[in-house]
Amino acid sequence: DIQMTQSPSSLSASVGDRVTITCRASQDIRNDLGWYQQKPGKAPKRLIYATSSLQSGVPSRFSGSGSGTEFTLTISGLQPEDFATYYCLQHNTFPYTFGQGTNLEIK
């Protein structure tokens, strides 16, 4: 199975900050990676697909980059509603696997 190592596992930041979350794949997954935001009690919400394509309706402060084995999600100018848990997902090889999550908290 492809392991997705997501870091950091938790992150404290302030409104207005720029934060970066990283996912490393245990093998080349090309650009078959997406990012989700999840709030307590809710289903995950797609933010980014195909590494860097922004989901319609998602603010442009969210961006994704990378290829191969290293990928990043950047949030530029944190807003109060962005405090949540974030997951990456590889869909290159089944079983599709998620990173372990990054809990983004208010500092």
Partner 1 sequence: QVQLVESGGGLVKPGGSLRLSCAASGFTFENHYMSWIRQAPGKGLEWLSYISTTSGFTKYADSVKGRFTISRDNAKNSLYLQMNSLKVEDTAVYYCARDLNTPGYWGQGTLVTVSS
Chain residues in the site for partner 1 (CB under 8 A): 32-34, 36, 42-44, 46, 48-50, 55, 87, 89, 91, 94-101
Length of the chain, in residues: 107
User: Please, which residue, 34 or 66, has the CB nearer to partner 1?
Assistant: 34
- What is the per-residue burial (b if ≥16 Cβ within 10 Å, else e) of 86-106? bbbbbeeeeeebebebbebee
DSSP string, 43-64: --EEEEETTTEEPTTS-TTEEE
CB of 98 to partner 1, least distance (A): 4
User: Please, which residue, 16 or 94, has the CB nearer to partner 1?
Assistant: 94
DSSP label at residue 17: -
CB of 73 to partner 1, least distance (A): 12
CB of 70 to partner 1, least distance (A): 17
DSSP label at residue 81: G
User: Please, which residue, 62 or 87, has the CB nearer to partner 1?
Assistant: 87
CB of 104 to partner 1, least distance (A): 15
* Residue with tokens 């402060």, as numbered in its chain: 61
